Copies of this chain bind each other. A is one copy, B any other.
């Protein structure tokens, strides 16, 4: 195997641990806090989680722990999209297990949750783990998007747990996967199994967080990777002074990534989906907002700028959301008839008598190459593939049109040239930043302590993240504490509540104070590439979002 110079030296990086975890494992005691409640729908959730509801918060402290040296058999799952640091969660879990008892075994379930239902595993040895320390990716055991939902899948999972004689399963995943972990913990207990289930908070989107989970892992590295690129484009356009760069950033539901990248780079415009939804901002209004900045800057001779766009934006613009729903319904109802229409003009005509006039008018205003994306590439359920819609090009097309009308009215006298970008996959598998490497290793190590202490239905938790790692506070949060009921496929389901950008939270409010200046002037910041060595202020700082949320 050909390994890069960076990978070789990163193998030797020792992730930093909270002080309470850094000594002998026998000295890690579990301090139990108050019993907990779900965020809402408490009675229903108590009924669903008869055996696991409302457990206490736990914190690790210095003290005696008799149980921790037992021999354990644990299986670990990587679930869903990649996030930098996943390998370090596994390394921390492995090192903890082996420190506890060298005879303990860590199984990796292959290819995500289906590895558990299908009993596809590999034993993770020191040799294997050492090849993946402090590296990006989920390739050590692979990931997958299977959800454990059907009675058969739960039964199969139990079967695997029995066959392998598992003390615990660790699920490394986002909100959905950890909801699954909670259900699995309950199912095991309800069916007399002693296999515990522990979750770890993963997602670059940053939307799995709450009072006790300060951030999900991977958010730090992904945002820094995107910010490197955005900063480079800022510097490029500040040099060439001729392009507006429209940059779409990964993040379907929440705009945390766009917001963090805005703090890191200070672009002229950063759209926030949550604000668009809260204000029912129309597409036209968004285009106006962008054009206002372009026109003002052109009047100062600055025909260049940077626009950040969260990936999921179109789904939050009321009339586009409605259009997408109508297209899904209309085309599904007459699938064959629609399939027989081959070109875009005829498709528009086909739609004209089938969707409401307001929506038809929107279709007509869309640039044709984008309108086509609403109609082509439908997913297996017949729905519009929103992730394939090039929102950045949609906005550019509409901005161009608006600017030419402003030009006719002599309101705009500049020159508009553009480039579009989408940054997403580039950031999911970067080498984890020191922050993510440390945080993930600590999460994995904490997962071990939760298991060794006999707990189930907990999310591994490491807090106080804006302090130095030695001062971090490790423990566990009961999964049911983060849950509520939400409508899914026609019925109410228990789910972990997604953390969206809060419009009255410190990060958004800080952004809102600065954005008018940014939209008019050139305030770009150039963060550069993630550094793994060097001064601490360069290589060990957490995200600005985290600092704004937690620093006093």
Contact = CB atoms under 8 A, between A and B. Distances in A.
Interface of A: 2-10, 81-82, 135-139, 142-143, 225, 228-229, 231-233, 235-236, 238-241, 243, 245, 264, 266, 343, 345, 369, 372, 419, 421-422, 425-431, 523, 525-535, 537-539, 541
A422 B233 CA distance: 13
Contact of A529 (B228, B233, B537): B228
Nearest to A3: B525
Contact of A7 (B245, B526, B533): B526
A430 B529 contact: yes
A232 B429 contact: yes
Contact of A266 (B2, B232, B419, B431): B2
Contact of A239 (B2, B427, B429): B429
A239 B529 contact: no
A266 B3 CA distance: 11
| Nearest 7 interchain pairs by C-beta | A533-B534, A529-B529, A235-B429, A137-B235, A6-B528, A138-B239, A236-B429
A293 B425 CA distance: 22
B228 A526 contact: no
Number of copies: 2
B533 A531 contact: yes
A227 to B, nearest CB: 9
Contacts of A3: 525
Contact of A235 (B139, B231, B421, B528): B139
Contacts of A236: 82, 137, 425-426, 428-429
A529 B82 contact: no
Contacts of A534: 9, 532-534
A425 B419 contact: yes
Given A135-B526, A430-B528, A528-B431, A225 B232 contact: yes
Nearest to A135: B526
Contacts of A137: 235-236, 238-239, 526
Contact of A526 (B136, B238, B372): B136
A425 B242 CA distance: 12
Contacts of A81: 240
A331 B137 CA distance: 49
Contact of A426 (B233, B243, B427, B528): B233
A466 to B, nearest CB: 15
A437 B241 CA distance: 23
A4 B240 contact: no
A495 B4 CA distance: 39
A262 to B, nearest CB: 12
A426 B235 CA distance: 9
A132 to B, nearest CB: 11
Nearest to A239: B138
B238 A525 contact: no
A31 B474 CA distance: 67
B7 A232 contact: no
A246 B137 CA distance: 19
Contacts of A425: 232-233, 236, 243, 245, 419, 421
Contacts of A238: 137, 139
Contacts of A10: 528
Nearest to A427: B232
Nearest to A527: B4
A2 to B, nearest CB: 5
A535 B5 CA distance: 9
Contacts of A538: 5-6, 9, 533
A143, A241, A426, A427: which has the most chain B beta carbons within 10 Å? A426
